[in-house]
Amino acid sequence: MIAGTRASALPKEMPNIHPTAVVHPGAEIHATAQIGPYAIIGERVKIGAETKIDAHVVIEGWVEIGDRNRIFPSASIGLEPQDLKYDGDETLVKIGNDNRIRECVTINRATEAGEVTKIGNHNLLMAYVHVAHNCVLADHIVIANAVSLAGHVEIESRAVIGGMSGFHQFVHVGELAMVGAMSRIDRDVPPFMLVEGHPPRVRSLNLVGLRRSGVTSLEDGDVYRAIKQAHRILFRSGGGIKEENLRELDALLHHEKVRHLYRFIKESIQNDNKRRGLIPGKG
Given this model, what pLDDT does residue 221 score?
A: 77
Query: Residue 1: is its pLDDT beyond 50?
Result: no
Instruction: Determine, yes or no, domain membership for 265.
Output: no
The percent of residues in the chain predicted with pLDDT above 90, rounded, is 81
Instruction: Determine, yes or no, domain membership for 72.
Output: yes
Model-level pTM? 0.93
* Average pLDDT score over the chain: 92
User: 121-125, 130-134, 161-165, 210-214 — which is least confidently predicted?
Assistant: 210-214
Instruction: Determine, yes or no, domain membership for 252.
Output: no
* Structural contact between residues 162 and 145, judged by C-beta atoms closer than 8 angstroms: no
Instruction: Determine, yes or no, domain membership for 183.
Output: yes
Query: Residue 258: is its pLDDT beyond 90?
Result: yes
Burial class (CB within 10 angstroms; exposed 0-12, middle 13-18, buried 19+) of 149: buried
Burial class (CB within 10 angstroms; exposed 0-12, middle 13-18, buried 19+) of 254: exposed
Q: What is the mean pLDDT of residues 58-64?
A: 98
DSSP state of 82: S
Instruction: Determine, yes or no, domain membership for 140.
Output: yes
Q: What is the mean pLDDT of residues 266-270?
A: 89
Given this model, what pLDDT does residue 117 score?
A: 98
Count of domains for the chain = 1
Greater confidence (67 vs 238) lies with 67
Model confidence pLDDT, tens digit, residues 204-246: 999 999 999 988 775 567 899 999 999 999 997 666 787 888 8
Long-range contacts of 54-57 (CB under 8 A, 24+ apart): 55/18
Query: Residue 283: is its pLDDT beyond 80?
Result: no
Q: What is the mean pLDDT of residues 133-151?
A: 98
Phi then psi for residue 252, to 5 deg, are -105, 0
Greater confidence (11 vs 210) lies with 210
Instruction: Determine, yes or no, domain membership for 84.
Output: yes
Given this model, what pLDDT does residue 214 score?
A: 87
Instruction: Determine, yes or no, domain membership for 220.
Output: no
Q: What is the mean pLDDT of residues 51-58?
A: 98
The percent of residues in the chain predicted with pLDDT above 70, rounded, is 91
Neighbours of 9 (CB within 10 A): 10
pLDDT band at 2 (very low <50, low <70, confident <90, very high): very low
CATH number at residue 139: 2.160.10.10
Given this model, what pLDDT does residue 274 score?
A: 79
pLDDT band at 275 (very low <50, low <70, confident <90, very high): confident
Instruction: Determine, yes or no, domain membership for 241.
Output: no
Q: What is the mean pLDDT of residues 110-118?
A: 98
Q: Give the domain range for residue 190.
A: 5-205
